[in-house]
């Protein structure tokens, strides 16, 4: 394999992570196997081939599932605090390899190195959360209506949890699911995005090392690689009681129908069309910081990226001018260079969607206030670098109603009170993240009330992008309704059971029913 970006230490990072020239696409740990086609992973940073991964065949998938179902029989019997010790060790391994994995995330996906490090930190944080959770998988005790009876409920492991992750967070979202599923006693089989397969290989290598050191079955963590056809093997498999899928709404609808058809459970975290409401009482400086990072961070490829800025007409021009001025200071280039703010889109297909969005907003009557465009020349050879763009638009525009996974920000104007802004925000099909910028307590509380934001995430005086692992993450409507990460999101990875114990010598029936023999 040709050395790549050696000035940023990429080659060394690949070696530390065990990402070789050709990696197997199906793995249950250290024993890799695959007979599938080759997937080539090209970096959007410079267009170079990083490495190759073999895709998973149906036969390969069956071997992985057999390993997973066998490992589950061992893993589920280990007390949860002991499973927590394994997750603690996994978190420590991530700390050791944080720099290397962060660089791989940045180089294979295209987000800034600081964001790559932040993504690995999310993995570490969810491990810490899971360790604490290992002693808190609690149920409830209820009073029985029958004398001499005790009622309680408990949670048991589900079994094999299937995970389908997207390219924009190639490692963090997997860990959100995996750390909690492992703590709950489940085993996992993971299909990472075919656009970032090497991140999956790297994570699998780290996990396999921890399991091997503890003499645990490799099948606790399984990896499969490939396109949607590999994902279909999992969504159709009755041995997989839960499928957690992150990606587009279109993909989520397909997964939901397939899994529901066999009466399985799905956890969906899908598209977002996130807005920040800016009221007359907003702090403009804070608004600019939150809006600009939300719109251009990860080159607009976060599910929580800010797509719409809903600004009161009394301060519209002032906010617009401040945002436009901030965009003029953005530096676009190699994301491993920490002086740059914006890296590339994931591939040229994403560039095409970006260009189509800018064309469509003008056709619908919008006005471009910060010109977009594809960058070329030295440093932009991959063809994936674009200029973050801003367009004035109307809420009803078709393009504004849809999510464009690119750095395109729409400025929308509202008048009157905050209820009008909330109506504009909620009048889209998606319901992931939302925010309001205001120093008015009444406006803030109205935004957070039952009649306020209809999103799964609602923030005051911070942007839409970014979330701490302590809170449940997810959204409503076409975002899918799933919740991952913190709070009580762990419950979806377990099956709930109600128990009643009779410690008397009589057998009274519920509701006072008499049945004498």
The alpha carbon of 465 is separated from its chain's Cα centroid by a whole number of angstroms, namely 12
DSSP 32: B
Q: Among 307, 305, 243, which Cα is nearest to 484's?
A: 243
Tell me the C-alpha distance between 495 and 501, whole Å: 19
Tell me the C-alpha distance between 359 and 391, whole Å: 11
Tell me the C-alpha distance between 79 and 467, whole Å: 30
Tell me the C-alpha distance between 503 and 244, whole Å: 41
Give φ, ψ of 184 to 5 degrees.
-75, -5
Of residues 119, 269, 443, 478, which has the active-site annotation? 269
Tell me the C-alpha distance between 447 and 425, whole Å: 11
Exposed e or buried b per residue across 374-396, where buried means at least 16 C-beta atoms within 10 angstroms of its C-beta? beeeeebebbbbbbbbbbbbebe
**Residue 77: burial class (beta carbons within 10 Å; 0-12, 13-18, 19+):** exposed
Cβ neighbours of 98 (radius 10 Å): 17
Give φ, ψ of 410 to 5 degrees.
-105, 130
Contact of 124 with 157, CB cutoff 8 Å: no
Name the E strands within 253-292: 265-269, 274-278
Using CA atoms, how far residue 350 sits from 30, 101, 384, in Å, is 35, 24, 8
Tokens of 162: 């299937």
Q: Residues for the chain: how many in total?
A: 517
Residue 211 pairs in a beta bridge with none
Contact of 326 with 296, CB cutoff 8 Å: no
Tell me the C-alpha distance between 420 and 191, whole Å: 42
Q: Among 466, 403, 105, which Cα is nearest to 273's?
A: 403
Active site residue 269: yes
Tell me the C-alpha distance between 5 and 381, whole Å: 14
Q: Among 276, 110, 177, 80, which Cα is nearest to 486's?
A: 177
Residue for token digits 């109603």?
401
DSSP 512: G
Q: What angle do CA 329, 384, 309 make, to 5 degrees?
A: 50
By annotation, the residues acting in catalysis are 269
């Amino acid at each position: 394999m040709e050395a790549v970006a050696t000035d940023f230490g990429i080659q060394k990072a690949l070696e530390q992570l065990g990402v070789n020239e050709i990696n197997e696409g199906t793995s249950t740990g250290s024993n890799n196997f695959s007979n599938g086609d080759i997937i080539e992973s090209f970096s959007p940073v410079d267009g170079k081939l990083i490495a190759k991964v073999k895709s998973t065949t149906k036969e390969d998938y069956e071997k992985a599932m057999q390993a997973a179902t066998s490992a589950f029989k061992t893993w589920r019997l280990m007390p949860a605090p002991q499973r927590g010790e394994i997750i603690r060790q996994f978190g420590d391994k991530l700390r050791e390899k944080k720099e290397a994995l962060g660089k791989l995330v940045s180089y294979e996906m295209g987000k800034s190195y600081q964001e790559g490090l932040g993504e690995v930190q999310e993995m570490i944080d969810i491990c810490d959360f899971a360790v604490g959770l290992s002693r808190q998988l609690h149920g409830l005790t209820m009073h029985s209506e029958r004398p001499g009876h005790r009622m309680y409920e408990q949670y048991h492991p589900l079994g094999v949890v299937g995970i389908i992750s997207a390219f924009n967070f190639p490692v963090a979202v997997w860990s959100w699911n995996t750390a909690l599923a492992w703590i709950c006693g489940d085993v996992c089989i993971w299909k990472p995005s075919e656009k970032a397969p090497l991140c999956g290989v790297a994570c699998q290598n780290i996990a396999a090392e921890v399991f091997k050191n503890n003499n645990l079955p490799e099948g606790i963590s399984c990896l499969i690689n490939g396109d949607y056809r590999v994902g279909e093997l999992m969504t159709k498999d009755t041995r997989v009681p839960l499928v957690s899928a992150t990606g587009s709404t279109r993909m989520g609808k397909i997964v939901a129908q397939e899994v529901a058809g066999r009466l399985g459970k799905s956890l969906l975290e899908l598209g977002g069309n996130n807005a920040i409401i800016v009221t007359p009482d907003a702090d403009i400086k804070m608004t600019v910081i939150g809006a600009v990072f939300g719109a251009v961070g990860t080159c607009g490829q976060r599910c929580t990226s800010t797509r719409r800025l809903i600004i009161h007409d009394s301060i519209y021009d002032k906010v617009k001018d401040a945002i436009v001025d901030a965009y003029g200071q953005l530096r676009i280039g190699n994301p491993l260079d920490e002086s740059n703010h914006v890296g590339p889109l994931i591939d040229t297909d994403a560039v095409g969607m970006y260009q189509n969005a800018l064309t469509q907003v003008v056709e619908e009557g919008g006005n471009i206030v910060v010109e977009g465009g594809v960058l070329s020349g030295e440093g932009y050879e991959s063809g994936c670098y674009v200029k973050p763009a801003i367009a004035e638009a109307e809420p009803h525009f078709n393009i504004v109603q849809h999510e464009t996974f690119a750095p395109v920000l729409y400025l929308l104007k509202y008048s009157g009170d905050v209820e009008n802004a909330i109506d504009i925000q909620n009048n889209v099909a998606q319901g992931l993240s939302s925010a309001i910028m205001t120093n008015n307590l009444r406006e803030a509380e109205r935004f957070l009330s039952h009649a306020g934001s209809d999103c799964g995430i609602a923030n005051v005086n911070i942007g839409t992008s970014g979330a701490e692992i302590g809170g449940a993450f997810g959204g409503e409507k076409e975002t899918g309704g799933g919740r991952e990460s913190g709070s009580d999101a762990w419950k979806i990875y377990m099956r709930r059971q109600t128990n009643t114990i009779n410690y008397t010598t009589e057998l009274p029936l519920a509701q006072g029913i008499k049945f004498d023999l």
